Amino acid sequence: MEILKAIEEININTCVEFVPRYVNDGRHDYVEFTKDGICSSAIGRQGGKQEVALGEDCNTKGGILHELMHILGFPHEHNRHDRDQHINVNWENITPEKRPSFQKRQFEDLILKDFPYDIRSIIHFDSFAFSSNGDPTLTDLSGFPLSTQGTRMSATDIDKIKVVYGCPDFLPMPPVLPQKCVDELFLCPEQAKNCACVFAPAFMLKYCCSSCELEADEMVDRFPFCPMWKDNCGKSEVLDSFCRKTCPRCVL
């Protein structure tokens, strides 16, 4: 579910599109998500199967977006060569084996060097990343924790993708239903029942149209008295099952 949300955010806001891979479809370069104790991805396209390791700390939409930005070729923002003009690195608070993750780059990509430093980037560490003692590892120039965010791509993240991948300057268009409403993935029914049609509509309507339509058809009250029992939603499996319009499972 979180993987679909992250993919949809990139697909909608840029001209880059992550698509499902099918067996024997001729695509030799692809991303495979794996469960691991760490969060990691190589920077840029490596060729062949490229694993994205998702540990518990990054198995969220924001964490997955962070790794997908690496897949697209973008390194950490806090490693920029000019970062000392914007933040302080508190080396004494960093877990020793993680200190290489805080080293500055010697130079920036020519395409990206003119973008402003972006504390709100999805690929910027937060203030307490890899702290050895509970104190901040990154602070602003006044010594206060940074106002980072780890839930979505920043406007600058999106602009960088558009520039690097040659995207036209466009506004996201609403998703268009396929002419023939069919499921293209075997996991569609399960994902639809798990609310993916609500939380990742563009992806699901494109690849799981049939399951989303069936799920929508089920969102009805089967008894006229359902609205009167609204206060009991979530307390009774029978009520939730027979009054799905009054007691929706999937709410944004």
Q: What is the topology classification, in CATH, of domain 77-150?
A: Collagenase (Catalytic Domain) (3.40.390)
Give start-end residues of each CATH 3.40.390.10 domain in the chain: 77-150
Q: Are 139 and 91 in contact (CB under 8 A)?
A: no
Q: Are 39 and 67 in contact (CB under 8 A)?
A: yes
Q: Which helix (H) or strand (E) holds 53?
A: strand 49-54
Concerning whether 32 is annotated as a catalytic residue, the answer is: no
Q: What's the pLDDT at 110?
A: 73
Among the listed residues 2, 8, 9, 67, the single catalytic one is 67
CA–CA gap between residue 78 and residue 65 (Å, rounded): 16
Q: Which residues of the chain have pLDDT under 50?
A: none
Helix (H, G, I), strand (E, B) or coil at 209: helix
Q: What's the pLDDT at 252?
A: 59
pLDDT digits (tens, 9 = 90+) for 130-162: 999 999 999 999 999 999 999 999 999 999 999
Neighbours of 20 (CB within 10 A): 14
CA–CA gap between residue 197 and residue 5 (Å, rounded): 10
124 annotated among ligand-binding-site residues: no
E strands present in the chain: 30-35, 49-54, 87-89, 138-140
Amino acid identity of 5? K
CA–CA gap between residue 112 and residue 132 (Å, rounded): 32
